[in-house]
A and B are shown apart, each in its own frame.
Chain A
Amino acid sequence: MKDWGRMDTPSPSIRDLALRLLAASQTASAPHGHEAVLVSEKLRISLTRFAGADGFASLLRRALVLASADLPSLQSVEIGADGCLEGFERLDANTGTGAGGREAAVAVTARLLELLVTFIGESLTLRLVHEAWPDTPLGRGDE
């Protein structure tokens, strides 16, 4: 995970972590919800507690802007007043396969994790993630 924290593109390790979280969210709790929304919601609960609702919303907004630069389809996704992602369902509907929505989910989640790593470091980020997903292996000794 040497290249964690770079702002150009999320590193493979961050993408891998994002994929794990998305997979865990898909299988574990609500099979009907979009995994990106579920991941974001779990992180929102965990992060809002210590960073405040505004703190989380500003991070998520920045993550969405960065991800939109890679995937223009994300420009239709918005952040609601409560800090939730809105509009992911439309991405799936547009492609008809769900693949576009999945790629967008990875991009947003990876960017959000990348921002956290940039600000508070890899170790604390993994600890926060672990709080939200205590049963999900996160790699690196499952922090």
Chain B
Amino acid sequence: MSTKGKGQGKVQGKDQVTIRQLPTGVPGLDEILCGGLPEYSFNIIAGAPGSGKTTLAHQIMFANASPKTPALYFTVLGEPAIKMLRYQQQFTFFGQAKMDGAIRFVNLSQLVLEDDLGAVLDAIVKEVEACKAHIVVVDSFRTVVRKALNNANELELQGFVQRLALHLTSLQATTFLIGEYVEGELRDNPVFTVADGLFWLYQSVERNSIVRKLQVMKMRGQASVPGLHTFRITDAGLHTFPRTFGLTDNKSDHVKGRRRLSTGVRELDALMDGGIPEGDSLLVAGPSGAGKTVLGIQFIAEGVVRGEPGIVAMFEELPDEFMQRAASFGFDLDKNIKDGSLKLIYLRPLDLSVDETVHEIVNAVKEIGCKRLVIDSLVGFEMALAPDFRTDFRESLYRMIGALTRLGVTIMSTVEVEENFTSMGLSNFTISFLADDILRLRYASINGQLRKVMMVVKMRRSKHSIDMCAYEVSSKGLVIGEPLRGYRALTSGIPGPWSLEAGQSLPELQTDRPPGPRKESPRRKKPRKKNSESRAR
């Protein structure tokens, strides 16, 4: 059922009717509607006051109205037309030129107040016929219904709605009835029964954040993306963020792990059997100060050197701080920012949705042909979300990582874990299942020193080293030293000698040598087997 919007039709089979689709003019909404609005459909836009119903209707109307396909906007006992025009013209989609006949406003308030449903129906049909309107909006239809319910029974109301739908469809109009409804009114409501399409707009306030969501509850004749899609109202009107992230048309030919991407740290590449498999999602988990961001910088810097454009989505540091930090490690990334091979995305409003964030990232990925993405950090990401979205964080991350890796992007996400000395957590979000690969950084108390230890915990479909190596964050980035041998309980952070009970002492226990380039221990006679057998699932 996929099709392109913008007035394209969709042919399902040679014997089936072609339903043309109209563009909504709302970014993202055509994707949610799998192409656009079915022409001649009879739709309801429902929601609470202030949820954006009128703005959505205006946006659709301005996107489709032209002198040849005019639109009629009936106002009924709702927002006075003069005030509505006063406010709606503030949106950028409001093209004043369309007021020259392409769009007409007709006030039905008096008629609704003074006459019956039959007269209202006659007036609407007469105006639509005279104007040859292709788009018809009734705002607010709820007031018509309320009046009708006071004076007529439900059956009469259903008859009125059905006749209205019949006439307007026969007149080849695509119709939108706007109404202030609550969800409980969905059942047995004749208006919803007759409607072909039902758009529901939600607005909720949680703590200090406003969360707006849209749902296409019903759409006859074509598929739509199910579920709640977040949206924002800006100067440009509604902007929806489909849960599909704008990737419905992307048929990925990307094969995960076809090649390895260097992390920028040669010794770490060796631990990972050559680097991060392309298209993988690597989770770098570790406590504060462990060097997670530094590793992200090295990963990105290595990429741009190799002609692989990168993006850093940062939720904690400011872009300037990031650039200064990179420079302090000897990476001059200014030229990459200028030539477009590196993009820094700073996202820190407090009412972000994951979908909105991912759309921002996906757009940037498409814009620069990004191959490497660093998300620094997931903790900051979660904090930037509106509280309502935090409960869905894991599910949203799952969709986000899936969407981005399908584009062939290799993701390095950092996550700060609270260090303790009894266990070794991988993240506070129970999200490690989302990662193809996990690198754990942690502190360990060795010989009276707080040493940094690194280990590759997991690499999906790939073998990797099982060594736990000491490392340092030097002025040039991460420097990985020798594997730590002779300890037990290294993962606890408070290791002891394996053979303490036997009274033996091993050289590794006595050394306070800082990590440096790895070399073979003189004690070893045989080459050390660096990599374990595959631990792939």
Q: Which of chain B's residues 102-118 have a Cβ closer than 8 Å to chain A?
A: 104-107, 109-110
Choose the segment among A28-36, A47-55, A65-73 that binds chain B (4+ C-beta atoms closer than 8 Å).
A47-55
Choose the segment among A6-14, A94-102, A117-125 that binds chain B (4+ C-beta atoms closer than 8 Å).
A117-125
B258: CB under 8 A from chain A? no
A54 touches B110 (CB 8 A): yes
Residue of B nearest to A50 (CB): B105
B107 touches A50 (CB 8 A): yes
A127 touches B96 (CB 8 A): yes
B466: CB under 8 A from chain A? no
Task: Mark A44-87 against chain B: 1 for CB-CB distance below 8 A, else 0.
Answer: 00001111111100010000000000000000000000000000
Q: How far is the CA of A123 from the CA of B106 in the complex (A)?
A: 19
Nearest-neighbour CB distance to chain B for A52, whole angstroms, equals: 4
Chain A residue contacts of B81, Cβ below 8 A: 50-52, 55
Interface size class of B (residues with CB under 8 A): 10 to 19
Choose the segment among B83-91, B315-323, B402-410 that binds chain A (4+ C-beta atoms closer than 8 Å).
B83-91
Q: How far is the CA of A128 from the CA of B100 in the complex (A)?
A: 9
Residue of B nearest to A121 (CB): B89
Chain A residue contacts of B17, Cβ below 8 A: none
B82: CB under 8 A from chain A? yes
B516: CB under 8 A from chain A? no
Nearest-neighbour CB distance to chain A for B508, whole angstroms, equals: 79
Partner of B104, one of A48, A50, A130: A50
Q: A50-B104, A120-B89 are in contact. Are A55 and B82 (CB under 8 A)?
A: yes
Q: How far is the CA of A17 from the CA of B109 in the complex (A)?
A: 30
Q: How far is the CA of A48 from the CA of B81 in the complex (A)?
A: 10
Q: A120-B86, A121-B89 are in contact. Are A51 and B99 (CB under 8 A)?
A: no
Q: How far is the CA of A53 from the CA of B112 in the complex (A)?
A: 13
Nearest-neighbour CB distance to chain A for B278, whole angstroms, equals: 54
Nearest-neighbour CB distance to chain B for A125, whole angstroms, equals: 10
B107 touches A55 (CB 8 A): yes
Nearest-neighbour CB distance to chain A for B112, whole angstroms, equals: 10
Q: A119-B82, A121-B89, A124-B85 are in contact. Are A51 and B96 (CB under 8 A)?
A: no
B82 touches A51 (CB 8 A): yes
Nearest-neighbour CB distance to chain A for B63, whole angstroms, equals: 19
Task: Mark B52-92 against chain A: 1 for CB-CB distance below 8 A, else 0.
Answer: 00000000000000000000000100001111011001000
Nearest-neighbour CB distance to chain B for A76, whole angstroms, equals: 28
B107 touches A49 (CB 8 A): yes
Chain B residue contacts of A120, Cβ below 8 A: 82, 85-86, 89
A55 touches B105 (CB 8 A): no
Residue of B nearest to A143 (CB): B100
B107 touches A127 (CB 8 A): no
A124 touches B107 (CB 8 A): no
A51 touches B80 (CB 8 A): yes
B99 touches A119 (CB 8 A): no
Nearest-neighbour CB distance to chain B for A90, whole angstroms, equals: 30
Nearest-neighbour CB distance to chain A for B94, whole angstroms, equals: 10
Apart from A52-B81, A120-B82: 13 A-B pairs, beta carbons within 8 A: A49-B105, A50-B106, A50-B107, A51-B81, A51-B107, A54-B109, A55-B82, A55-B107, A121-B86, A121-B89, A124-B89, A127-B99, A130-B100
**What is B's interface to A at a CB cutoff of 8 Å?**
75, 80-83, 85-86, 89, 96, 99-100, 104-107, 109-110
User: Which 5 pairs between the two chains have the least Cβ-Cβ distance?
Assistant: A50-B105, A52-B107, A52-B109, A120-B85, A51-B81
Some 30 contacts from A to B, beta carbons below 8 A apart, are A49-B105, A49-B106, A50-B75, A50-B104, A50-B105, A50-B106, A50-B107, A51-B80, A51-B105, A51-B107, A52-B75, A52-B80, A52-B109, A54-B110, A55-B80, A55-B81, A59-B82, A119-B82, A119-B85, A119-B86, A120-B82, A120-B85, A120-B86, A120-B89, A121-B86, A121-B89, A124-B85, A124-B89, A124-B96, A127-B96
